[in-house]
Amino acid sequence: MKGHDILRVTAKALIPLILLFGLYVQFHGDFGPGGGFQAGVIFAAAIILYALIFGLDEAKEAVPPRALELIAALGVLLYGGVGIVTMVKGGTFLAYNALDPAHPTHGQHLGILLVELGVGLTVTAVMCAIFFAFADRGRRS
Amino acid sequence: MNIDVGLFNYWVVVFLMVAGLYTVISRGHLIKKIIGLNIFQVSVFMLYITMGKVSGATAPIFSETATAYSNPLNSVLILTAIVVGVATTAVGLALAVRIQEAYGTLEETEIIEMDGGE
Amino acid sequence: MPELVNIALLSFLVVITVVIIRSRDLFTAVMLSGIFSLLCAGLFTVMDAVDVAFTEAAVGAGISTVLMLAALSMTNSKEKVHPTNWGALIVAVLTGALLVYGTQDMPAYGDPGAPVHNHIAKRYIETSLVEIDVPNMVTSLLASYRGFDTLGETTVVLTACIGVLLLLGGRRREEDDHEGS
């Protein structure tokens, strides 16, 4: 799609805005609709748009598939890690109150932030990796 | 204008369920079956979310001016279900692509014939 | 007014479903299912489930459509015409009739006294702001009260990624045959 100037210019203007909106949705999930899943999908949509307009190879250079596999696993590890940390600090698995025994609600905030971050990382990486897998298979045929 | 919606929502849910079921069991193309499965899943989402609505209430986000809130529990269940649904669809489509490469077709009857007609 | 929007969107949904089932060209069916997801997102917003509407719009109308188009581009996208399968139709209609008979017991739409609103949901709504101090009750439920389920869901997503990478990530069979044995 490199020859289509309108698409190229519009995508260049929109992709940073989509990424910014994804970050907004990720961290404002506490105050409005949003959270990890929605933000992950929006991030992935921006990367897929980049791949569609500028080419799969450029997209794979910007976001290497090896890194995607790593980030996907890292997200789940972060989520489980928060659970293990709460157990180490004396609570039960995923009892965020134990993260900050003096102020339980601060512990809840921290726990929810980390957990949603883990979910967002995993969903972004998984959606991009699946798209790259399909696109690669299609290109070889 | 106060129309009594009554059970119309549930009847549409039943229609979507039946439509999804019919598509899965009667159509032969594998990707059409996956689309039918998606329609069936959406009908179940609609059922839960319809049950969660409270008339005169607002979305379950705390605000000073709200008197009543719709049920947040249904939303939580369906959020999980949507993401699991897209994961299942992705794996199903990957299987369909491999089947196309192995058999050259995605029609169920032709695949069964090639496999020896059982 | 919201009831009118509700009825109109549901009727559109029914019409689009019928067209999706009857269309033989699968690209049309996939595009229409994208519109189907968008209508569902609108319906979920009217029914006060804003988080779900957000997710359905992003996932259903976005990712799902892209993946189906990618899969269709690698396979043949025209469905073969079969004669109507009367057995399947009768089974489906019978199931539908039984389910409609079952919906007679459902509480009326929007009834605040329905059982689903009066047990643990009431407890969550009342104590969520005190115990967790997060305005969005759906997030507090998802990440804190029901955090273990969300861990399972994230693992399911990771498993789907592993599955797709195993199925589609390797080399194709023809290349293997040319190289080794």
- Check residue C19 and give its pLDDT: 95
Q: Is residue C110 part of a domain?
A: no
Boundaries of domain holding C27? 1-77
Sign of the C-alpha dihedral computed for residues C167, C172, C177 and C180 taken in this order: negative
For residue C173, pLDDT beyond 80: no
Does residue C73 lie within any of the structural domains?
A: yes
pLDDT digits (tens, 9 = 90+) for C42-95: 999 999 899 999 999 999 988 999 999 999 998 887 888 888 888 889 999 999
Right CATH for B8-114 from 2.60.40.10, 3.20.20.80, 3.40.30.10, 1.10.287.3510: 1.10.287.3510
pLDDT at A19 over 90: yes
What percent of chain C is modeled with pLDDT above 70?
Answer: 94
**CA dist., res. A70 & res. A77, Å (int):** 10
For residue A139, pLDDT over 70 is answered with: yes
Closest by Cα among B64, B66, B46 to B56 = B66
B59 pLDDT higher than 70: yes
Q: Please give, rounded to a whole number of angstroms, the shortest distance from the CA of B21 to a CA of chain C.
A: 7
Higher pLDDT, A76 or C111: A76
Task: For chain A, give every domain's residue range.
Answer: 5-140
Beta-carbon neighbour count of residue C170 at 10 Å? 11
Q: Is the pLDDT of residue C181 over 60?
A: no
Query: How many domains does chain C contain in total?
Result: 1
pLDDT at A121 over 60: yes
Q: How far apart are CA C135 and CA A108, in angstroms?
A: 13
* CA A131 – CA C73 distance, rounded (Å): 13
Does residue B59 contact residue B70 with C-beta atoms inside 8 Å? yes
User: pLDDT grade, residue C176 (50/70/90)?
Assistant: very low
- The reported pLDDT for the residue numbered C84 is 83
In this complex, the chains that touch C, judged by 3 or more CB pairs closer than 8 A, are A, B
| pTM, entire model | 0.91
Distance between C88 CA and the closest CA of chain B, angstroms: 6
Q: Which residues of C touch A93 (CB under 8 A)?
A: 148
CA distance B78 to C56: 10
Instruction: Give the pLDDT score at A141.
Output: 57
Q: Write the ipTM.
A: 0.92
CA distance A12 to B111: 45
CB contact under 8 A, C154 and A69: no
CB atoms within 10 A of CB B6: 12
Chain C interface test: which of A18, A77, A115 (most C C-beta within 10 Å): A115
pLDDT band at B12 (very low <50, low <70, confident <90, very high): very high
What average pLDDT does the segment C170-175 reach?
A: 59
pLDDT of residue C180: 41
Cα–Cα dist B93/C179, whole Å: 28
- Contact check, Cβ <8 Å, A137/B90: no
Q: What is the mean pLDDT of residues B91-97?
A: 95
Length of chain C: 181
- Check whether B86 has a pLDDT greater than 60: yes
Q: pLDDT per residue over A37-87, tens digit each?
A: 999 999 999 999 999 999 999 999 999 999 999 999 999 999 999 999 999
Phi and psi at C72, nearest 5°, equal -65, -30
Q: What number is the average pLDDT over the span C5-24?
A: 93
* Domain contains C109: no
Say yes or no for a CB contact (<8 Å) between A111 and C140. Answer: no
As a whole number of angstroms, the distance between CA B70 and CA B51 comes to 10
Disruptive mutation site among A134, A140, A141 for chain C (greatest number of C CBs within 10 Å)? A134
The pLDDT score that the predictor gives to residue B56 is 83
